[in-house]
Structure 1
Amino acid sequence: MTDYIQLGYLDLLPAALLVIFNAGLSILMQLGLLRVLAVSVIRMVIQLSLIGLILTWLFDSANPVFILGIALVMLLLAGREAWARQDKKFSGIWGYGIGTGAMLMAASLATAVGLGSAIRPDPWYMPQYAIPMLGMILGNCLTGISLGLDTLTATALRERQAIESRLALGQPRLIALSGVTRQAMRTGMMPIINSMAATGIISLPGMMTGQILAGVEPMQAIQYQMLIMFLIFGGTGLGVITAVGLGILRLTDQRHRLRLDRLQ
């Protein structure tokens, strides 16, 4: 299985009609989703078209400087999205830096493990492997870190009196906030855990499906998907633990006081 069916833009029209049909239902049922749906579809088409042109150029050039530049842009944009998804944000550079720093460490490590241990492309920075792998890991890290930090700040605000009581009784800050920490980490990791539990029986992941449609042997596509899921979970878990840990240190000080004034 090596051949794949090539698509043209006209081939996308029947599938696009399903979106138009749903837009019509939104108008008919007065759901108020037409504008949001239209903006989302237009953004998707423009973004995918642009990234397609960029990746085509990147694959042809295979320049490590350009590849690292694209990876850095992806990371910075992911950090901004993680920051924007939090209801209560840390003030100052910490609001952006905690999530972005955790993603940089976790996604870079997971991508390096995948490229260096299993795939081993030559050269190691081949963009057709490095960029898609980094993108999948970053996307899941973004979700986990944003959920973890949002849960951390919201729970700390809600349980402020209980936390301050424990601190007043002499508990160290890490012990006093241990329950909040566990809840934030569990919330951040739960989406990828649920995704792994459903993969293969309830859902067929997009990467595996895309490889099969492109002509890759099913068992080979499954092995690639297993690799990616392991890397995603490893990166997401490490990113959530790092981000929540840094968040706990920022929410307290060395005198073991709760510092909710450091939130916006």
Structure 2
Amino acid sequence: MTSAPYIALSYVDLAIASGLLVLAGGLSVILRLNIARNLAIAAIRAAVQLTLIGMVLKILFSLVSPLWTTAAALVMILLAGREIVARQHHRFTGPWAYVIGTSSMMTAATIVTTVALLSAIRPDPWFDPRFALPLLGMILGNTLNAISIALERLLSTALREKDAIEARLTLGHSRYLALSALVRDAARAGMMPIVNAMSAAGIISLPGMMTGQILAGVDPGEAVKYQILIMFLLAGSTSLGVLGAVALAVRRLSDGRHRLRLDRMRSSR
């Protein structure tokens, strides 16, 4: 089957698309939604960030260096950890707010990305940034969102159900048993976005990677296989990241004497 020709976009095409943002901003002003400024800042930030990362990726793709690929991956992970904290209304005090989410995400994303590169995609060399960095980026984006949702649900629920949890602890329950219902609820909340995405894929929505490949001229059958692989990888990373983050959060939310330690958390606003 002959691949469709690649269609290059011009800046005029992007300017036309930006008209939709202007429309959205205008509706926000008319309806007094108070998001026009945030929308404009987000759009400018996205355009600048994507332009800069495009320039950086060109350099990294030409180098094909394990050192520079690792350095770029580490920067991506550290910035993703910051985003986890920024999305939480309730968070732990001190460095734990950053450490718990970042360490869980880094472990999950590293394991899943490495397995995918070595066993499924198998580029030569296996650390080729053309494959490793885009794959890691997709995994980080979904995993950080899941972890932030799970941690926010766990901490907000613990604060709301403080009396019930302490009653269980008073009755002799261990901290793990007393918080088990909260753990299950937080884990489900964190994993629900990827479950919903997989459920809707192909029937309601055409996922981003598949759509991008098709627009770039890749055979739809091949694009489907890549999309299935990516969704399974995202599900695996999300599960590992959420469970790891929730487990660490439970230990921080209580102590060795099985007491609830809400003094170790605070509200961001």
Q: TM-score category by the smaller chain?
A: over 0.9
Asked whether 1:5 is paired with 2:7, we answer yes
Aligned-pair RMSD on alpha carbons?
A: 1.1
What residue is the counterpart of 1:61 in the other structure?
63
Asked whether 1:255 is paired with 2:266, we answer no
Q: Deviations over 1:165-188 (max 9, x none)?
A: 111111111111110111111111
Alignment of 1:96-111 (within 5 A): 96-111=98-113
Asked whether 1:157 is paired with 2:164, we answer no
Alpha-carbon separation, structure 2, partners of 1:262 and 1:255: 15
Alpha-carbon separation, structure 2, partners of 1:25 and 1:188: 32
Asked whether 1:73 is paired with 2:75, we answer yes
Q: Structure 2: 5+ residue runs without aligned partners?
A: none
Q: Deviations over 1:12-47 (max 9, x none)?
A: 222122222222333333332221121111111101
Q: Deviations over 1:49-74 (max 9, x none)?
A: 00110111111111111111111011
Alignment of 1:1-264 (within 5 A): 1=3, 3-264=5-266
Q: Structure 1: 5+ residue runs without aligned partners?
A: none
User: CA shift at 1:2, angstroms?
Assistant: 6.0
> CA 1:27/1:261 → structure 2, altered by over 3 Å: closer, same or farther?
closer
> CA 1:55/1:2 → structure 2, altered by over 3 Å: closer, same or farther?
farther
Alpha-carbon separation, structure 2, partners of 1:140 and 1:227: 15
TM-score (norm 1): 0.97
User: CA shift at 1:119, angstroms?
Assistant: 0.4
> CA 1:127/1:2 → structure 2, altered by over 3 Å: closer, same or farther?
farther
Q: 1:221 is matched by which residue type in structure 2? A: A
TM-score (norm 2): 0.95
Q: Deviations over 1:91-145 (max 9, x none)?
A: 1111110000000100001101111111000000111110011001001110110
Q: 1:111 is matched by which residue type in structure 2? A: T
Q: 1:42 is matched by which residue type in structure 2? A: I
User: CA shift at 1:230, angstroms?
Assistant: 0.3
Alpha-carbon separation, structure 2, partners of 1:24 and 1:259: 46
Q: 1:53 is matched by which residue type in structure 2? A: M
User: CA shift at 1:164, angstroms?
Assistant: 0.8
Pairs aligned (count):
264
Q: 1:245 is matched by which residue type in structure 2? A: A
Alpha-carbon separation, structure 1, partners of 2:9 and 2:67: 32
